Amino acid sequence: MSSHVVVIIPNWNGQQHLQTCLNALLRQARPVDEVVLVDNASTDGSCAFVAENYPQVRLLSCEKNLGFAAATNLGIRSTQSDYVATLNNDTEVEPMWLEELVRDMEANPHLGMAASQMLFYQQRGTINSAGIAVDRVGMAWDRLGGLPEEAGTRAENVFGPCAGAALYRRSMLEQIGLFDEDYFGYLEDVDLAWRGQATGWSCLYVPSARVYHVHSATAREGSPLKNYLLGRNKWWTIFKNYPWPHWLAYAPLILGYDLLANLYNLVLKRDVHALRGRWAALRSAPAAWQKRRAVQQLPGYSARRAYECLSRIRLPWDVWQRYKHVTGKHHTPRAS
């Protein structure tokens, strides 16, 4: 019997993207069993547009903007399926996208996550994300970002998927929990992937599962809110997931690299919002530490696995190369 797959799309004032997104999704070679659009109290007519033009899409309307994490969780909890795909509203998937992800997931019961090849919508030959990576100083980035699509043709195990176009095994989510709703948005996929890795699940990057993405169409790159959330959520993710006793050895480097990031934000970008986010994370550290205990009590948790999934450290003056494709006028690094 074939597996059941549901696709969850969170939406906030994204009506201008929904026709492209939903038309492509509903033309999949492997039909989607259920599409759920979770609307975060949009004021641009998104709900009416979907209700009128896409009756086959189940619409969940929120009374306020819950953010990506909570909205996606709401959709997941409202469904029952073997696999859960998460998809940004500002994407266009190729016809074989879902079939390619499901095929690889079905072939390997140890896979808990599958990452798509995400290409920039306006630059379709350039990679936006080939899965996500995290290094030993806690910096996260999109793999192969900015490289030509030919650089991302090899399927390989990676840290995790960008949740903008990902497939998750529901049994993994039932074991490790869903997205952390306190994050609101940004890096919640890093946190979830780290929990998955630490408990023995793996992630495969599937280059044949191709998606075109309008980068940061919902939250403008470099906006005060986005920089604040990135700064705060980075440290929440480290507090929750960085394994002991490796934390003792790497804490000086983690702090040193983060100091350099703060100097870059303050001196060159004249931006204080990422620093405000870090201060908020420090003030809420006790709550994050409680979550850390819960992570370490997950079935199958291993500090060794939580460390071995991390990439090696690059020299500070080389780190910028991970983000140079998104550090132009309208872009800012994922790991602010």
pLDDT at 263: 87
What pLDDT score does 323 carry? 79
* CA terminus-to-terminus distance, the chain: 45
- Co-location of 43 and 161 in the same domain: yes
**332 lies in some domain:** no
Choice among 27-41, 171-185, 229-243, 308-322 with the minimum mean pLDDT: 308-322
What mean pLDDT, rounded, does the chain reach? 93
The residue out of 163, 178, 213 marking a domain boundary is 213
302 belongs to a structural domain: yes
Residue 26 lies in a domain: yes
pLDDT category at 2 given cuts 50, 70, 90 is confident
17 with 104, same domain? yes
pLDDT in tens, 179-233: 999 999 999 999 999 999 999 999 999 999 999 999 765 555 567 999 999 999 9
The verdict on 231 and 157 lying in the same domain is no
Q: Are residues 121 and 171 in the same domain?
A: yes
**pLDDT score of 266:** 83
Residues 276 and 203 in one domain: no
Tell whether 168 and 229 lie within a shared domain: no
Assess whether 238 and 193 both reside in one domain: no
Question: Do residues 156 and 150 lie in contact, with contact meaning Cβ atoms separated by under 8 Å?
Answer: no
For residues 234 and 318, membership in a common domain is answered with: yes
pLDDT value of position 223: 79
Asked whether the predicted pLDDT for residue 87 surpasses 60, the reply is yes
Please say whether the beta carbons of 101 and 130 come within 8 A: no
The amino acid that residue 323 corresponds to is Y
User: Residue 332's pLDDT band (boundaries 50, 70, 90)?
Assistant: very low
Q: Could you tell me the CATH number of the domain that includes residue 56?
A: 3.90.550.10
Are 134 and 240 within one domain? no
The whole-number average pLDDT for the span 22-34 is 97
Number of domains in the chain: 2
Q: How confident is the model at residue 235 (pLDDT cuts 50, 70, 90)?
A: very high
Q: Do 275 and 203 fall into the same domain?
A: no
Report residue 329's pLDDT band, with 50, 70 and 90 as the boundaries: very low
Tokens at residue 15, please? 């009506």
In a domain, 263, yes or no: yes
pLDDT at 269: 73
pLDDT confidence tier of residue 92, bands split at 50, 70 and 90: very high
Residues 171 and 260 in one domain: no
- What is the span of the domain harbouring residue 314? 224-326
Instruction: Assess whether pLDDT exceeds 80 at residue 296.
Output: yes
72 shares its domain with 181: yes
Q: Is 222 left (phi over 0), alpha (psi -120 to 50) or beta?
A: left
Listed in order, strand segments (DSSP E) in 62-135 are 83-87, 91-93, 111-120, 127-129, 132-134
